[in-house]
């Protein structure tokens, strides 16, 4: 299992979660972050850091955002790693 970034991250892309990840599991898309399921160790460090509550354990992703499980897997394979904090796209918090 892994953690998954979902809809609330779209368009804001806070990076508070990125800097606490011990495995550098985050990938940066154009409008959203993704978590590489092959790198994530399920430590839960990122979830409480997300100001828009966009990160869920895979088994707990809300029904309306289930497609983000596959999307994280697919996009993490092609998006570059992000390991440092960057300014968010928008202030949704």
pTM score? 0.93
Q: How many domains does one find in the chain?
A: 1
pLDDT higher than 90, residue 69:
yes
Could you tell me the pLDDT band of residue 33, with boundaries at 50, 70 and 90? Answer: very high
Average pLDDT, rounded, for the chain: 95
Residue 32 lies in a domain: yes
Q: How does pLDDT run across 36-60, given as a tens digit for each residue?
A: 999 999 999 999 999 999 999 999 9
Residue 53 lies in a domain: yes
CATH number at residue 30: 3.30.70.20
Residue 51: which residues within 8 A CB-CB, separation 6 or more? 14, 16, 92, 93
Residue 86 lies in a domain: no
Residue 69 lies in a domain: yes
Residue 70 lies in a domain: yes
Provide the residue range defining the domain that includes 31: 3-76
Q: What burial class does residue 93 get, using C-beta atoms within 10 Å of its C-beta: 0-12 exposed, 13-18 middle, 19+ buried?
A: exposed
């Amino acid at each position: 299992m892994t953690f998954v970034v979902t809809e609330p991250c779209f368009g804001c892309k806070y990076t508070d979660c990125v800097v606490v990840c011990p495995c550098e599991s985050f990938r940066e898309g154009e409008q959203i972050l993704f978590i590489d399921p092959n790198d994530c160790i399920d430590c839960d460090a990122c979830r409480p850091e997300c100001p828009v509550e966009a990160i869920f354990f895979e088994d707990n992703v809300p029904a309306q955002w289930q497609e983000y499980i596959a999307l994280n897997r697919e996009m993490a394979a092609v998006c570059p790693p992000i390991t440092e904090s960057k300014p968010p796209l928008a202030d949704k918090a």
